[in-house]
Amino acid sequence: MSRAADDLRDRSAAEVITGGPRYRTPRLLVAFGGLQYVLFPIPVVILFWTDQIGLSLTQIMVLQAIFGLASVVFEFPSGYLADRVGYRTALLAGAALWTLGWTIYAIATTFGEIALGEIVLGAATAFVSGADSALLFSSLAAANDVGAYTRWEGRARAAGQACEAGSSAVGGWLYALTPRLPFWLQVPNALATVALVATMRQPPRARVTVATSHFARMWHVVRTTLRHRRLRSAIQLSVTLGLSTFTMVWLIQPWMQRRGIPVAWFGPIWAAAHLWLATVSLASARVADAIGVRVTLATSAVLVVAGYALLAVLDTPWAVAAYLCFMTTRGLQSPILATVIQADAPHEDRASVLSLNALCFRLAFVACGPAVGALVDRFTLEPTLGALAVASAAASAGALVAFRRAHPARALGVG
């Protein structure tokens, strides 16, 4: 009888921690991942910036650098704050800022106003970054099912990509009705994320005693992470592959314009690409189990180089299919490397380490993004894509070598 009572007590504790039923919070996080990526403007945002606001591609890349700088300013402090006050609290702050940012965007008419919207959205992204994955990991740990993390992470990413695909499919049509309609529709969706996060529950957190100042503690986390060989190499590879694929996101719309693809097709093409991304995200854990983590990541790097090369040399509109190379890499590497990083991160600093990874990525884009835009404006798109193929090959090769040395094949597993 005593053992049965203990089992019942343990099960009840796990259910409370995960929010009622055992996987309630993970399910809510999957839904949050979906709502966060309902992005009606994304397939036509370049057109909005150029046709409605009058920006050049260099200015557009500067806007993204501003977004990146805002993320950099808030990224690591927000992750540290999430570890101290709770992942749910950080998600609530991010959702509220997300709502404010899209409201500013909907009424913006100048470069400065759009830049303000980008700053607020960058701060929102920083508060969410790391906190969502850390809450998922800690909720599964409370349910004694950490081994399922990669599958749940893949589901959350797949939900996000599926929702981005669905919203993108109608984004072009909404833009044709009135250019600002896609932006106004973001506001109620953002409010829905606030309501969703409010229903989540935070697992009990380990009590962390900070003997020195919080700034000293943050510096300790940075120093320890960058000295940790496995974490450092995983972050290096994550940033390299993430930057290679993210850059193409901002170049595919000009590429489609140059190939004469009708604007009405931008939404469906974007939707199809993200449905493919969602499918790959769901399959990422099975692929890694089948062929190995290191082979999967090496294949991801090769696909990026192939994608840039094909888009640089092929003139036919059908070559847009090469964009799937980037989507495949995103779908494979993101859940896998998130698992690798979380496995080595200290539990009391998990969100901080994930935010440090995101911060490194944002800094890399701030450094490279405007330069890519300037290259396109000066030398046109195709030579720039060729240069990016070469740069991606070199950067990925170095990152993969470091990763392989730090992570023996037998030590890797994604569950």
The pLDDT tens digits of the residues spanning 145-183 come to 877 887 888 888 888 878 888 888 888 889 888 999 999
State the CATH number of the domain containing residue 332.
Answer: 1.20.1250.20
119 and 340 in contact (C-beta within 8 Å)?
no
Does any domain span residue 374?
A: yes
Q: Which residues are CB-contacts of 159 (< 8 A; sequence separation ≥ 6)?
A: 30, 31, 33, 34, 37, 278
pLDDT averaged over the chain?
Answer: 84
Q: What is the pLDDT of residues 345-354, one digit of tens each?
A: 877 777 778 7
Does any domain span residue 375?
A: yes
**Count of structural domains, the chain:** 1
CA-wise closest residue to 224 among 128, 356, 336? 356
Does any domain span residue 222?
A: yes
In this structure, of 103-117, 251-265, 295-309, the range with the lowest mean pLDDT score is 251-265
Does any domain span residue 94?
A: yes
347 and 335 in contact (C-beta within 8 Å)?
no
Per-residue pLDDT at 412: 56
Integer distance in angstroms from the first to the last C-alpha of the chain? 35
Q: Which residues are CB-contacts of 329 (< 8 A; sequence separation ≥ 6)?
A: 241, 244, 245, 300, 301, 303, 304, 307
Structure token pair of residue 374:
């300037």
Distance, in Å, from the CA atom of 172 to the CA atom of 160, rounded to the nearest integer, reads 19
Is residue 411's pLDDT more than 80? no
Does any domain span residue 207?
A: no
Query: Would you place residue 212 in the very low, low, confident or very high pLDDT band (cuts 50, 70, 90)?
Result: low
Does any domain span residue 27?
A: yes
Domain residues for 250?
15-198+213-409
Does any domain span residue 165?
A: yes
Per-residue DSSP letter, 250:
T
Does any domain span residue 206?
A: no
